[in-house]
Amino acid sequence: MSSTQPRLAMHRYQHVYFWFLYSLLYILWIFVLDYQKYFKRRVGNMPIKKMTLADHLIFWSFKLFYLFVFVAVPIYVTGFMAWLIGFLTFTLVAGFVLSIVFQLAHTVEHTHFPMPGEGGKLEDEWAIHQLKTTANFAPKNKFISWLVGGLNFQIEHHLFPKVSHVHYANLRRIIKQACAEYGIPYIEYPRMSQAVVSHVSFLKQMGRG
């Protein structure tokens, strides 16, 4: 995904097999990643705050609730095979949608992956960093905007994370104009298909160096 990561032989064809791997995200998230974060007390390299008793109870209560509602009850009602087919169908679709939305917003040909310099500081200030590392896709497609909750306006989402996504289209016009005035890049793909092509091309470039 980045030139700073070690390149392995299998990455050479990642632009071909990523479709399947992206589909596994939801299953991995529910059954592996959440528990890793919980027991390691960190998200990636970032430690999480000390959990209170209420935090622990909420985590385990919802994990058990999920297993009861989405595993135990369906198996009891429909049988194992019917449950397995249904469960894999919705989790694989959900995993792919989650993955592709965030990948199109970050890992495309024109986004940057800056690394901290001396002292652990990035070259650009916060807002410029957001603009260089994110991309919008299909901003005028109302159906896609509705379907992904405005996450196709990823630039606006990063710059104004506490503003409702219903305002992103108006914010986009203002931010885009300000970027043009100050010569700051504003990365955007008019159609989702263009962003997908750019993402595939990016994976191919990263995989083959």
Largest CA distance in the chain: 62
204 in the Ramachandran plot: left (φ > 0), alpha (ψ -120 to 50) or beta?
Answer: alpha
Instruction: Give the amino acid at 2.
Output: S
Is 92 within 8 Å of 23 (Cβ atoms)? yes
pLDDT in tens, 28-69: 999 999 999 999 999 888 899 999 999 999 999 999 999 999
Burial 185-195 (b: 16+ CB within 10 A, else e): ebbbbeebeeb
Using alpha carbons, list the distances in angstroms from residue 169 to 76, 101, 126.
46, 17, 22
pLDDT level of residue 169 (50, 70, 90 thresholds): very high
pLDDT tens digits, one per residue of 99-109 = 999 999 999 99
In angstroms, rounded to a whole number, what is the distance separating the alpha carbons of residues 173 and 186?
A: 11
Q: How far apart are CA 136 and CA 70, in angstroms?
A: 34
* Cα 164–Cα 128–Cα 130 angle in degrees, nearest 5: 45
- Quick one: tokens of 83? 């449950």
User: Which tokens go with 94?
Assistant: 């959900």
d(CA 96, CA 22): 5
Return the minimum-mean-pLDDT range out of 54-63, 69-78, 117-126, 142-151: 117-126
The rounded distance, in Å, linking the Cα atoms of 105 and 187 is 9
Rounded CA-CA distance 48/27 in Å is 23
Between 44-48, 128-132, 155-159, 173-177, the lowest mean confidence (pLDDT) is in: 44-48
The two beta strands, 42-43 and 188-189, are unpaired
CA distance 72 to 85: 14
